[in-house]
Structure 1
Amino acid sequence: MNQSFNASLGVDGVGRLLRYIVVRGLLIIPTILILYTLVFILLRVIPGNPILSALGTHYVPPEILEEKMHRLGLDKPLIYQYFDYLWNILHGDFGESMVIEGRSISRDLAYRIPATVELTIAGFTVSVLLGVATGALAAVKRGSKTDYAMRIYGIVAYTLFIPWLGSLLILLFSVYLGWLPSGGRLDPSISLDRITGIYTLDALLTGNMEAFINAVKHLILPSLTLGIVLSGPYTRLVRSNLSDILQADFIRAYRARGLAERKVLWYALKNAMIPVVTYMGLQFAILLGGAVLTETTFSWPGLGSYLFEKIQYRDYSAIEGTIMVFAFIVGIVSLIVDVIYALIDPRIRY
């Protein structure tokens, strides 16, 4: 494998890798188109009218309804609506909200994306730390009560319903103990200059430690909720891999040479983390899906809560735009994971 990897550093190997990246990148396009088509059809099939939903009434004078339908292009044949919106998307225009007249969807998405990225990174970090710690503990204590407890944790954690767990944490840490805020990203009394939209990063960049501490407090409960639920697969994966590696011949050789048990476990854990690292990229899509429920539970102003809000009002343009952004982000992350696969195992490129 080392020889293959070294050979891949040559001109021919780099060319194959670049072709592989281009092909995988191009596959993102049909994926987004298929998802857009499904969402477009589903929104039109479901009974209801977005204008009536936005106005909150079942009766609107026919002439007013007709005028609004014409202004939003909803009176056009479906095939024209499909390609009109797709053409606008290709030019970077996500259109205007059907609920709030003149409201730019692109501006809303640009404002919301950093919040989702911040929550996703924090939840991802918590899930990995919890999963690796519990999985390693189960493998080291294999066959003991601790092992069984960690295995049960891995199963139960992944089956927890995010709104239920989030509400439980809010009830405990916000209502009873009063330690942490129950929702939002920042207290209204705290001022912060927006640079990247990621509040913890913006606070550090501007040296605003008060805002940083406050932003971290708001981030703890939603990231902990998301992290706990998504740590279950890591627990089982790390336990399984580490248990096998601890029985391997090279581990016995390390111990036979008198190497400290702490170092032996460290070497074993590094080897056990190889499949875990590759799984991390695949977990990102699940993180985004979990973020929808987490954001609505904690009133977190990200893409998830935005999508939930627009679904309630049947805002076609906003829903389609948000779904396409989700698909694009997942596609890019999947591409990065595939490139890592190709670097680890050059056979994937052929």
Structure 2
Amino acid sequence: MKNFSNYTDYDKKDNLHFESKAVHGALGTEPLTGAVSMPIFQAVTYRHPALGESTGFAYSRLENPTRQELERTMAILEGGIKAFAFSSGQAANMAVFSLLNPGDHVLLSDDIYGGTFRIIGDVFGKYGIEHTYVEMDDLDAVKAAIKPNTKMFFVETPTNPMMKVADIQALSEIAKSVGALMVVDNTFLTPYFQNPLKLGADIVTHSSTKYLGGHNDTLSGIVVVKDNEEIAEKIHVHIKSHGSQLAPMDCWLLLRGIKTLPVRMDRHNENAKKVAEWLRTQPKVKKVYYVGFEDHKDYATTIKQTRGFGGMISFTVDSFETVQKILRNVDMIMFAESLGGTETLITYPTTQTHEDTPKDVKEKLGITDRFLRMSVGIENVEDIIADLDRAMNS
């Protein structure tokens, strides 16, 4: 039996550009057969050649060839030493927050996904983890919020759904100065547009359900560790003990999605810019939140640390009636939760993605009953704009 669990061909890909790395992954081909698409190893257990000998695999909760290929691919793309594939983005974040001990304090982006808000408050709060929400784009506010027991910064950039942008390098330096881990949720931009580990972050997380998968057909999460073997081992123990690994079929779907990630992200980026500019011309639209606008308050930070603006837009309209009209009348655009797929989706954050966020917090951020979030897909942009125009103005 051939052992390919320790193959190191993927270490030779440093000279390739991102697009080539995304297509060819870690091993590139399955070494036993030469299959150019990593097979779905739908096996739970693996036969050992003899006592004291192993193929490198024993039980799929511990290791699986399809999942291993995905994890090695993500480590390559994000520039880390180890990646872990989870059953959802929430499961990935659970593992990261599990690095904290009772009595530790974590700083989080004030404008954060509602599921993360729920995890840190309702779940880890009862285990003695303290937390503070802070505007991560305000470095003075971040410094003022640090406590002697601050052990982690958890940053979304751009944020969901207000599109705030945090300076990853500056925050990483502050975190290191107080001995805290710097964690960045890179879901919105992916490693194609943004590389937090190269900017100083210690850990990157993804809801890979979104752009990495890209087709709204698999629920998954990713964690990538930069260079700390001890942290990597703690997450390994967590995933092994909690049984929150991603199943082989879903790993294969993610690998397939990642192959077209650069092409898709370029189209998302191109379309979103045109849609955002069109929205600004509409009388019923009162404000558009899009990081690609030169007058966005964090634009200088964006162009310093990213190679694109992504496909996410939020906007406020003139009335709740306009919201109802848009959500009822969109046709090609779909009123649905989630983001990052090939299809354009529109979402109502106040009762969907941020349902668990307290009303006063939502209103302070600007998540009102007149607020919508759009994930711009890869359809023809003229069709996207025409559908929005008809839904809102006819």
TM-score (norm 2): 0.23
TM-score (norm 1): 0.25
Point out the structure with max Rg over C-alpha.
1
The structure that is helix-richer by fraction is 1
